[in-house]
């Protein structure tokens, strides 16, 4: 009996980790990377046309959301995040363009968590004057909820000169 338990333990431990994916719906890393990349781009690109519906569809709409800004401001939760709407939707704010460079996306073994790193140039105007984040380090974590990727955490920082 002891040997049977040992053999079962060895067989079980040699199996790959279980995941939220099943045999009929295997994890396709290339497809999931594309979906995550769309969310990442959408979380900045929404501003060009002030598509706040898009933005709110790709940000976790609950208290678990966290965003850290380069000025050390910490946004805690979706309701806190929405407070910036007055700034973004103001006619004095104009998104000009953005560029994401060196994007790296990774996934958990379960396939329902992704994290990324990139460099961001976010070029904007406020009352006709530059309001840019250039050479910004951007990291984030996404979670797949109900089959859809949403950003649950992101951090922006500037390199010290």
Residue of 130, 137, 71 lying closest to 97 (CA atoms)? 130
Q: What is the pLDDT of residue 25?
A: 62
Least confident of 15-29, 74-88, 146-160: 15-29
Question: Does residue 1 carry a pLDDT above 70?
Answer: no
Q: How many percent of the chain have pLDDT more than 70? A: 83
Q: What is the pLDDT of residue 23?
A: 53
Q: What is the pLDDT of residues 52-86, one digit of tens each?
A: 999 999 999 999 999 999 988 999 999 999 999 99
Rounded mean pLDDT, 27-56: 96
The Cα–Cα gap between 155 and 146 comes to 24
CB atoms within 10 A of CB 37: 17
Backbone angles phi, psi at 46, to 5 degrees: -55, -30
pTM exceeds 0.95, yes or no = no
Q: Which domains does the chain have, with CATH numbers?
A: 28-158 (3.10.450.50)
CB atoms within 10 A of CB 44: 19
């Amino acid at each position: 009996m002891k040997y049977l338990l040992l053999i079962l333990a060895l067989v079980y431990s040699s199996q790959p980790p279980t995941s939220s994916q099943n045999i009929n719906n295997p994890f396709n890393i290339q497809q999931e990377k594309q979906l995550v990349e769309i969310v990442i781009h959408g979380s900045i690109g929404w501003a060009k046309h002030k598509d706040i519906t898009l933005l709110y569809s790709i940000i976790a709409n609950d208290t678990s959301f966290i965003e850290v800004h380069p000025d050390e401001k910490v946004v805690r939760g979706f309701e806190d995040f929405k407070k910036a709407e007055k700034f973004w939707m103001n006619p004095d704010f104009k998104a000009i363009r953005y560029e994401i460079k060196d994007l790296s996306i990774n996934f958990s073994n379960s396939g329902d968590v992704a994290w990324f790193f990139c460099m961001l140039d976010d070029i904007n105007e406020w009352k006709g004057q530059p309001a840019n984040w250039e050479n910004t380090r951007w990291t984030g974590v996404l979670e797949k909820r109900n089959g859809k990727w949403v950003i649950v955490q992101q951090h922006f920082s500037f390199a010290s000169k």
